[in-house]
Structure 1
Amino acid sequence: MKFLFIHQNFPGQFLHIVRHLIQSGAHEVVFISESNENVISGVRRVIYRKPVDPPEATHSGAREFALALSRADAVAQAASTLKDLGFIPDIIIGHHGWGELLNLQDIFPTSPILGYFEFFYHSDGFDVGFDPEFPTVPDMLPRIRAKNAVNLVALNNPGWGQTPTLFQRSTYPSWALDKISVLREGVDLDLCCPDPKAARHTLHVKDVTISPKDRLVTYVARDLEPYRGFHVFMRSLPRILKECPKARVVLVGGDSVSYGARLAHTTWRQYMLSELQGQIDLDRVHFVGKVAYDEFRALLKRSDAHVYLTYPFVASWSLREAMAMGCAIVGSDTDPVREFIEDGSTGLLAPFLQPQKIADAVLTLLDNSKQAKILREGARAQAEATLCLNDYLMRYEDLIEQVSGLSPSAEAAPSIRKRGSRKPTQQSAAASRKTRSGNAAAKTTSSVKPRSRTLLPT
């Protein structure tokens, strides 16, 4: 098959499926993106230059959409060049977030599109207005609604959609749900696996040394910011450090802002350190910035209590990896986390906005090794049942076949199959093959009846 992938930050969410297709040796894979240093052998890259930002005079609510339309033009131009060179994809797979797919049906009208729908924004009920510390300013509301312009055009365009969780699917309008499949993203369970001996050895991460005598608390986010509960976690530390003298805390994450608002003239790390000045022992709290993947895995395998917090927003890949590595997890009691963690079985859930409750849960894990062991085993078992990378890739192939009518793993020549022969269903990404763990993955993804948005907690 001929695959065309599109994501401004190659390879984005498509790393595993692209590697899988290349390793089969049976497919041609082309990827349109902005320039970066990432490389996957066997993938033909087509680079487009990021368009210039819209003029300052452009309405603030329209700036993001204007840039998306410019990206759509740039990607369409790159696709047109591919077409002139004789490349006609059997399927186009990309991320709808930046508008890059909006014009591709004009270039390849016979090529089906499978688009990644990540999140549909709301002016209340999800991330916006969730944290009372950051009240919504009235003039933000129209800008929030305007952020869905790309989403709405993409939903009206031809093609099928995928999203990785039931929660993310539930953010979309009811009229759109029938064209979005839930395809749970997988984890390499061999690479991300528990190491029962990790606590017996000294761990070095950058300039931080964790001895076997230390009780290690970990926190990971792309950037240290409120959307991922950084401010709340920091406020839990005075009690954790006081009541567990052996506790050491390692925080992984940058000082930028991936989601939400930036602070003027400072970072959230500096802001919280200023707020907590004199309340935490900085000899036991370590900010290591962004780390190499091997260091990240070593850190989580050694962790005695791993904290993952998020607004009602997109769940991080690190949560999946933490489960696979058998971490004893303290998660926020929010919808995206509840989809992965069952309180008392695969982790402990604590109210996002209550740092003392988060401290309670962390101290429970540090003080009760027997309970922590049960939760570790439960998290790993759940990851094996629902997050297996091989199962995910098989379900991905099924969805590709149902969208395109061609099977990526078919032994027969694709030309003998009728394209578009099956219409995907809401549960099709999970149900058409039995997985290595039986029907566990199907059980977790096949029942995708939309929940009413008014029932979601705020």
Structure 2
Amino acid sequence: MRTYAGAPHLLIRFKNQCRVMLSMKILFIHQNFPGQFKHLAPLLAARGHQCVALTLRAKEPANRNGVRLVPYRLPKRSGQNLHPWLIDLDTKLTRGEACYRAARALRDKGFTPDLILAHPGWGESMFLNDVWPAARIGLYCELYHQADYPHLHFDPEFDKGDAELSRLRIRMKNLNNHLHAPIMDAGISPTHFQAETFPEDFRERITICHDGIDSAVARPDPDVRLTLDDMPELTRADEVITFVNRNLEPYRGYHIFMRALPRLLVERPDARVVIVGGDEVSYGPRPPSGQTWKQVFIDEVRADIPDADWARVHFAGRIAYDDFTRLLQVSRVHVYLTYPFVLSWSLLEAMSCGAAIVASDTAPVREVLSHDDNGRLVDFFDGDALVGEVCDLLDDEAARRRLGEAARATVLARYDLQTICLPRQLDWVSQIMDGAPV
């Protein structure tokens, strides 16, 4: 498995490579394009490559940032009786067939890609080698599902049913990964933790390179001002505690944070707590029928929080990226919790903004944060320790400044979009086309 040390000469070497790389036809596959190809796709288009994306997200054909979007649809299917462990694969096969049909139509119109870059997680790319057998294929290797602790049974509260059967079900979820293995010329994974979930025959073809954090946008701003609906204007003078998920759910520790909230509000009578995230489920179990995890845990703690304190808790839902950045810039302490799972962009963006962070002491987090070096780490399940570390940082401006500066320095050294990650991604593309081992 190839890794990178971030040497300054890499960018120079890469630029020299790009000058001689011939113009290519590149096909992107992502169910929510651009997804993880947000920066790579337009850069390749700007360098003269013909870039096309097959996507379910677009409603009409369009050209976005130099990439031609070709929309397609999933077929309507009647219900069928399936073994529950096959439902996941069935969904992926449905998407794979739909993408195959769209790819075949694209081929019949004369488009033949030299390179296919795909996120295989939803199954769309599993048959593309049948359409274009000569195309080189690079896959975004996000996660291989592990059927043992701590990937499974990490949080006993949400373990349901037969534990031994759960291991079998999780193994079945990897059928999609194995269907992609024979067609993958090379893979890319954003963290060591994620790459190392894959078996050795995958890992030897995976380059570790993060998607990249735009540190010129996600940066400290002492003069930041933020106004969101139903909230007073916030500045760096306010004591703001932030918690961010794509969706508010147990996989990202929402239940742990909410259970710590009554004590946190008592300990910090001037603090405002801003919680960002949607009501859906991205990962893990679904809430009881007709409910959301957000409301389940509000209901659990609300009786323990006086109305005056509850008025200092703000659920912002999903917000525009500019507001999200300003929120991280205004945050006095940012809390990030996660199971041993895919690392969130939001943690690195908070680090890039110079936030003082209290995070769960779990494997993906330890890859980027060290306790009292560039953040504070607590046991995922220890709400009292979480409150203690948050309060300690709120009382210690020097520690906040030291940890925030170190957190940003980590991003600049290892995850910066322009100086580190994009050069590595483009080097990866070049090596795929050269046929060099990656």
TM-score, normalisation: structure 1: 0.85
Extract unaligned runs of 5+ from structure 1.
Answer: 406-419, 425-458
Structure 2 equivalent of residue 160 of structure 1: 186
Correspondence 1:7-22 to 2 at 5 A: 7-22=30-45
User: Within 2, Cα distance between the matches of 1:272 and 1:238?
Assistant: 12
Structure 1 equivalent of residue 428 of structure 2: 399
Structure 2 equivalent of residue 135 of structure 1: 159
User: Within 1, Cα distance between the matches of 2:349 and 2:184?
Assistant: 34
Letter in 2 for 1:240: L
Shift of 1:54: 7.0
Letter in 2 for 1:126: P
What CA deviation, in whole Å up to 9, does each residue of 1:394-415 have, x standing for no partner? Answer: 111110111112xxxxxxxxxx
1:368 aligns with 2:396: yes
CA contact (8 A) 1:128 1:136 kept: no
SS at match of 1:352: coil
Structure 1 equivalent of residue 373 of structure 2: 345
Letter in 2 for 1:123: A
1:82 aligns with 2:110: no
Letter in 2 for 1:154: H
CA contact (8 A) 1:164 1:182 kept: yes
CA contact (8 A) 2:334 2:357 kept: yes
CA contact (8 A) 1:231 1:272 kept: yes
User: Within 2, Cα distance between the matches of 1:158 and 1:314?
Assistant: 21
What CA deviation, in whole Å up to 9, does each residue of 1:61-99 have, x standing for no partner? Answer: 111212212222221222222222222212100011111
Structure 2 equivalent of residue 242 of structure 1: 266
Structure 2 equivalent of residue 104 of structure 1: 128
What CA deviation, in whole Å up to 9, does each residue of 1:109-130 have, x standing for no partner? Answer: 1111001111111222233200
Moved over 4 A (4+): 210-213
Structure 1 equivalent of residue 297 of structure 2: 272
CA contact (8 A) 1:328 1:375 kept: yes
1:149 aligns with 2:171: no
Structure 2 equivalent of residue 310 of structure 1: 338
User: Within 2, Cα distance between the matches of 1:300 and 1:155?
Assistant: 39
User: Within 1, Cα distance between the matches of 2:168 and 2:407?
Assistant: 40
Letter in 1 for 2:69: R
Structure 1 equivalent of residue 13 of structure 2: none
How large is the RMSD of aligned CA atoms in angstroms?
1.7
CA contact (8 A) 1:129 1:136 kept: no
User: Within 2, Cα distance between the matches of 1:366 and 1:345?
Assistant: 17
Letter in 1 for 2:425: Y
User: Within 1, Cα distance between the matches of 2:197 and 2:76?
Assistant: 30
Structure 1 equivalent of residue 318 of structure 2: 290
Mean Cα displacement is larger for which, 64-73 or 379-388?
64-73
User: Within 2, Cα distance between the matches of 1:296 and 1:239?
Assistant: 26
Q: Percent identity?
A: 42
What CA deviation, in whole Å up to 9, does each residue of 1:122-142 have, x standing for no partner? Answer: 222233200121124224333
Cα gap change, 1:53 to 1:146, in 2 (>3 Å): farther
CA contact (8 A) 1:218 1:300 kept: yes
SS at match of 1:8: coil
What CA deviation, in whole Å up to 9, does each residue of 1:26-75 have, x standing for no partner? Answer: 11100011133697232111222124467341111111212212222221
SS at match of 1:336: helix
1:183 aligns with 2:209: yes
User: Within 2, Cα distance between the matches of 1:190 and 1:379?
Assistant: 15
Of 409, 414, 430 in structure 2, the residue corresponding to residue 386 of structure 1 is 414
User: Within 1, Cα distance between the matches of 2:78 and 2:381?
Assistant: 37
SS at match of 1:276: helix
Letter in 2 for 1:32: L
SS at match of 1:300: helix
Structure 1 equivalent of residue 51 of structure 2: 29
Structure 1 equivalent of residue 27 of structure 2: 4
CA contact (8 A) 1:328 1:373 kept: yes
Structure 2 equivalent of residue 40 of structure 1: 64
SS at match of 1:205: coil
CA contact (8 A) 2:260 2:384 kept: yes
User: Within 2, Cα distance between the matches of 1:75 and 1:386?
Assistant: 35
Cα gap change, 1:234 to 1:210, in 2 (>3 Å): farther
CA contact (8 A) 1:51 1:67 kept: no
SS at match of 1:75: helix
Structure 2 equivalent of residue 450 of structure 1: none
Of 354, 358, 370 in structure 1, the residue corresponding to residue 382 of structure 2 is 354
User: Within 1, Cα distance between the matches of 2:171 and 2:78?
Assistant: 19
Shift of 1:248: 0.8
User: Within 1, Cα distance between the matches of 2:202 and 2:69?
Assistant: 32
Shift of 1:387: 1.1
CA contact (8 A) 2:139 2:184 kept: no
CA contact (8 A) 2:374 2:404 kept: yes
CA contact (8 A) 1:169 1:180 kept: yes
Shift of 1:153: 1.3
User: Within 2, Cα distance between the matches of 1:52 and 1:365?
Assistant: 53
CA contact (8 A) 2:30 2:119 kept: yes
User: Within 1, Cα distance between the matches of 2:63 and 2:302?
Assistant: 43
Cα gap change, 1:140 to 1:54, in 2 (>3 Å): farther
Cα gap change, 1:344 to 1:51, in 2 (>3 Å): farther
CA contact (8 A) 1:123 1:144 kept: yes
Correspondence 1:65-76 to 2 at 5 A: 65-76=89-100
Structure 1 equivalent of residue 437 of structure 2: 423
User: Within 2, Cα distance between the matches of 1:372 and 1:35?
Assistant: 40
User: Within 2, Cα distance between the matches of 1:158 and 1:186?
Assistant: 23
Correspondence 1:205-224 to 2 at 5 A: 205-212=228-235, 213-224=237-248
TM-score, normalisation: structure 2: 0.89
Shift of 1:210: 4.4
Structure 2 equivalent of residue 320 of structure 1: 348
